[in-house]
Amino acid sequence: MGKGAGGQVGVVAALVRAAFLVDGVYAETSRAYGLTPQQGQLLCVLMPQPYGMGELGETLGLAKSSLTGLVDRTAQRGLVRREADPRDGRAVRVGLTEEGAALAGRFYAETCRRMEALPSGLSGAERDRLAVLLSRVVVDNEVPEVFAETEAASGSEERTYG
């Protein structure tokens, strides 16, 4: 159903199915670390620096009430903390605690390991081409940098959040 020669699917089906595949990796890794997928994403976003609530909401695509609940639950576990914004005393920033940073590093490394295995049937050249094409889709659609890329994850240069 909807497959062409050699089991190939169209771009829409491939993107949707790839999203399910990536979501599945996040869910499995999160469970292994006692997190929800949303908490795992929050930890990864906060790895480079604390963020304001508005900025976090935009980056994660969450409404204010949903983000507040996520931060509350993650703070209750001792993984994130709220702190005053040094530029605006009325604003709050969210950052990782020491425990949160350690867990984020382990969660991130395991997520990268599992993601790296997904295209294991591709040659090096095919993997490079896939990265180029997906990068264009991500950039063209202005997807926030919710997951930093390290040298180990990319196999080449290190990238950081923007």
- pTM as predicted: 0.81
Strands (E), the chain: 51-52, 80-85, 88-96
| Contact partners, residue 162, CB within 8 Å, separation at least 6 | 145
Q: Which residues of 75-91 are buried (b: 16+ CB within 10 A; e: fewer)?
A: eeeebbbeeeeeeeeee
Q: What is the pLDDT of residues 118-157, one digit of tens each?
A: 999 999 999 999 999 999 999 999 888 777 765 444 443 3
What three-state secondary structure class fits 86? coil
CATH number of this structure's domain 33-143: 1.10.10.10
pLDDT in tens, 72-90: 999 999 999 999 888 887 8
